Amino acid sequence: MKHSSSPLSPGTHTITVPHDTVHVEQRYHVAGSGPVCIAHSGGPGIDWEYLRMPALERSLTMVYIEPVGTGASGRLPDPQDYSVTTYARLLHHVVEHLAVPEVILLGHSHGGFVAQQYALDHPERLAALVLYDTSPVADEQFWSAAVAAMQRFVDRHVDDHPEVAGYVAALTARLDLLDDDGTTAILRKIMPAYLFDYWGREEEFAPARQSLRMYAAPTGGQGTPFDVRDTLPGITTPALVLAGRQDFICGPRWARLLHEALPAAELSILDDTGHLAHIERPAQFGAAVLAFLRGQGVLGSRQTP
């Protein structure tokens, strides 16, 4: 640690964790009070700050991972090492450092891949799992479906918003060939597709769009496509599978695969919602997560959303 405060004191923390033959700095950020919930952001490579969840911080001690390869966390010597298994291993060092018997783990999008892998590797450390706009698989069929859904988004909006004509090309760009500014530009460009009604609430969402940051290094990860469908029945941790009905990339189709395969899962689909429910529908998102945690006895009944 760079300072002597408690691992769960509010603010930014940095620990040094092993990775193969080297050590790397891993940052995380603590806000709120209550049972400990670790949140792992998506991407890979998207800056953690978009995932801030004030609606949950009122009832939970939120621990936001700043993934290695992003922000002020360290970088891996070999960009090919940025894999789901690597991120799950790095996450475990944080869990160990926090020194609490069990945590709630919330993974968004690619962070949901990490959360699933962690639940397979370390089920004894989890009180509950929140799989938020994610999928048990990211193979060619998954990406083809995402591209087709993005094309439908373009077709619906191109007359009123001609700039969306380039969204499919942006979604399918080789991010590993770009620098941090290049990946950030692409993320900001296509952000409206990740919301149900960006232009109807543009004044509200534009600042969030401009604050998005993406880092190129984690996009260079190599390995077989993520697919844990065969092993999901082994995850007996109570799980909430939550998705936006209009999420073009990790919507209900993939949420249902998770719900059907996980033995102790509940499913929550939020209407008129895209890939970022905690930004679009913070009250409904927070209520769904907290109701699930109360139902599991992880959260006391007196804590309000």
pLDDT digits (tens, 9 = 90+) for 106-132: 999 999 999 999 999 999 999 999 999
Residue 11, class by beta-carbon neighbours within 10 Å (0-12 exposed, 13-18 middle, 19+ buried)?
exposed
Low-confidence winner among 19-23, 46-50, 179-183 (lowest mean pLDDT): 19-23
Task: Tell me the average pLDDT across 140-150.
Answer: 97
One-letter amino acid of 246: Q
Q: Say which DSSP state 132 is in.
A: E
One-letter amino acid of 2: K
Q: Is the pLDDT of residue 1 over 70?
A: no
Q: Is 170 helix (H, G, I), strand (E, B) or coil?
A: helix
Predicted confidence at residue 285, as pLDDT, reads 98
- 27-58 pLDDT, tens digit per residue, is 999 999 999 999 999 999 999 999 999 999 99
Q: Say which DSSP state 226 is in.
A: P
- Cβ atoms < 10 Å from Cβ of 192: 21
Nearest to 196 by CA among 130, 126, 284: 284
- Encoded tokens for 294: 């109360």
- Encoded tokens for 161: 């918003």
